[in-house]
Amino acid sequence: MAGEQALISAGMKVALVPCPALGDTTLLLWLAWRLKDAGVQVSLASASLFAVRDYLPGLEIIGGAQPDVPALARSHDLVICAIDWFVHANDPETESALGNVAYLAGKKLPVRYELERKTVSLAGAPLPGAHNVICRDPKAGKTMVQWIDIYAHEILGLDIMSKPAGLQSLPAIAEDAAGRVAIFPTTPHASKNYSHRGFRRLAQKLAAKGWQVEFVGIPAEQQALQSQYPDFTVHAFQDLKGLIDYLCTCSVVISNDSGGGHLGSLLGLRTFTITRRRSDFTWRPGFNDRNRVVNPRFTFKWMGKTIWRPFISLNHVLRELPPVARH
């Protein structure tokens, strides 16, 4: 743990800068809640979260597509910033010299900048381990939420025993939410996506059991998704508020390894993650214990590619979602 005089304390001002990816954003939002519970004045620089600032009382949400990390460093005691912004900064050498900015990476810090050797200061004292990776051991079986809690406790000295309050003032849960499933069939990385045919077959089987099945994508892909799933409603939302409001009408999220699953987990929904990874892979939904990883029975390599989609058993999902009575 960091030295006693360097620990985060009530009244300090801390800024968090997540990268734009939804899953990463939910993770630093969790850390923001941990800091807020410790009496810290927390700012979050996030374009997506700005749309849901009314659901985040007690946090200052700073919008804008490009965070001004040096300005945040001048107005806060500490800035914790996703490594993505550092790597793509106009002048990373200058930003690496900011003494109160800590950079976090998922699994690896860029070697060429030697961040591990550079000291981060908090209230005039060094904060050991502030530049760090979130996942220290991908084989440990911990979720990224558990890893961020370890960073919060061991590096920042925060209490992680209680669960944060989470999003507030959300829309009322829809009366028919218990019977609605949201499927997120895409990610920005095609290699992570389960097949459209597989998702369509799963949707049809769930619909036959009485579930209201709907698909969710981004606006740019909505038309293509609608053509792939013509018998189902396909949603696309212009901002995070629209997506969160929609998920308040659902009870289950089925997705690839993607931000949709993490957001559903954050909202307390039941999640199923279809992936080629092992069941205890690190980046699985971990904000509640109602998550299930569905992976292939086996895989093999063919012409340099991993073949896994034909070996996903949809029965893992179907067995756990009982029939829904139609009204």
- DSSP assignment of 198-210 equals HHHHHHHHHHHTT
With a cut of 80, say whether residue 124 has pLDDT above it.
yes
Mean pLDDT score of the chain, rounded to an integer? 93
**Interval 194-227: pLDDT, tens:** 999 999 999 999 999 999 999 999 999 999 999 9
First to last CA, the chain: 56
State mean pLDDT over 161-188: 96
Domains 8-154 and 177-318 alike in fold = yes
| pLDDT band at residue 3 using 50, 70 and 90 as cut-offs | very low
| pLDDT band at residue 115 using 50, 70 and 90 as cut-offs | confident
Top pLDDT among 91 and 25 is at 25
Q: Supply the pLDDT for residue 95.
A: 65
Q: Supply the pLDDT for residue 104.
A: 95
With a cut of 50, say whether residue 118 has pLDDT above it.
yes
State mean pLDDT over 271-285: 95
Q: Where are the alpha helices (DSSP H) in the chain?
A: 22-37, 47-50, 69-75, 83-87, 92-96, 144-154, 196-208, 222-228, 240-247, 259-266, 315-318
Q: Which burial class, exposed, middle or buried, applies to 9 when counting CB atoms under 10 A from its CB (0-12, 13-18, 19+)?
A: middle
**Interval 136-150: pLDDT, tens:** 999 999 999 999 999
Q: Supply the pLDDT for residue 91.
A: 64
| CA 249/CA 18 separation, integer angstroms | 27
With a cut of 70, say whether residue 92 has pLDDT above it.
no
| CA 50/CA 34 separation, integer angstroms | 19
Q: Supply the pLDDT for residue 23.
A: 94
| pLDDT band at residue 301 using 50, 70 and 90 as cut-offs | confident
| CA 55/CA 77 separation, integer angstroms | 25
**Interval 44-82: pLDDT, tens:** 999 999 999 999 999 999 999 899 999 999 999 999 999
| C-alpha closest to that of 293 among 267, 271, 264 | 271
Block residue for tokens 């199923």 = 272
User: Residue ranges of the domains in the chain?
Assistant: 8-154, 177-318
Q: Does domain 8-154 have CATH number 3.40.50.720?
A: yes
Percent of the chain with pLDDT over 70: 95
Q: Supply the pLDDT for residue 93.
A: 62
Q: Which burial class, exposed, middle or buried, applies to 172 when counting CB atoms under 10 A from its CB (0-12, 13-18, 19+)?
A: exposed
Q: Supply the pLDDT for residue 325.
A: 75
Please state whether beta strands 300-302 and 305-307 pair in parallel, antiparallel, or not at all (unpaired).
Answer: antiparallel
The domain defined by 177-318 folds into Rossmann fold (3.40.50)
Written as six digits, the tokens of 107 are 């699994």
